[in-house]
Amino acid sequence: MTERVSSSRAQRPVFRNINALQDLPTYRLPIAGIVSILHRISGAIMFLLMPFVIWMFDTSISSEYSFAKFARVFNAGVGVVPGWFFKLVALGIIWSFLHHFVAGIRYLVMDVSHSLVTKEFGRSSAQITLAISLPLTLALALKLFGVY
């Protein structure tokens, strides 16, 4: 009798150790998970590049001479480091700020109204987060690199 009961039950999943090199590249992370990971990465970028941000702010407002030096770094570079590299670092800071800000608003909305926390809202709000932060970053990148 117990054999019939056990055979009629659904098979339980078999858990095994994962092989990170084989299994992780095939895992499809939902867009809400991607936005969550990018939120953490953007926060880390802002924290790690804070000395660069302080240097940019300090040299841009100290005097006309320091502002000219600041502009020269972004146009011609320093030593063997070209100016586009500094612009790329500034673009990373711009992206991290915009993404962190927009995703932070997303998380605040989710914290304030728990009734909104569903899979559908998570997916749509993650799409909105990317739809706002990425075009803003692109627009500021075009301005930074002198396209307009």
**What pLDDT score was predicted for residue 59?**
83
Specify the 3-state DSSP secondary structure of 78: strand
- What is the rounded distance in angstroms from the CA atom of residue 110 to the CA atom of residue 32? 12
pTM over cut 0.95: no
For residue 44, is it within any domain? yes
Per-residue confidence of the chain (148 residues) as pLDDT tens digits? 455 555 567 788 877 777 778 777 888 889 999 999 999 999 999 999 999 889 888 888 888 998 888 888 888 888 899 989 989 999 999 999 999 999 999 999 998 988 878 889 999 999 999 999 999 999 999 998 888 8
Domain that holds residue 50: 31-144
Is 45 within 8 Å of 135 (Cβ atoms)?
no
Give, as one character, the DSSP assignment of residue 148: -
For residue 79, is it within any domain? yes
**What pLDDT score was predicted for residue 6?**
54
Total domains, the chain: 1
Packing angle of the helix pair 64-75, 50-61 (nearest 10 deg): 130
Specify the 3-state DSSP secondary structure of 81: strand
For residue 15, is it within any domain? no
CATH of residue 115's domain is 1.20.1300.10
- What is the rounded distance in angstroms from the CA atom of residue 128 to the CA atom of residue 105? 11
For residue 104, is it within any domain? yes
For residue 26, is it within any domain? no
**What pLDDT score was predicted for residue 67?**
87
Packing angle of the helix pair 64-75, 83-112 (nearest 10 deg): 100
Which residue matches tokens 């995703």? 103
For residue 58, is it within any domain? yes
For residue 21, is it within any domain? no
**What pLDDT score was predicted for residue 5?**
52
Q: CA geometry: angle at 94 spanning 55 and 49, to 5°?
A: 40
For residue 4, is it within any domain? no
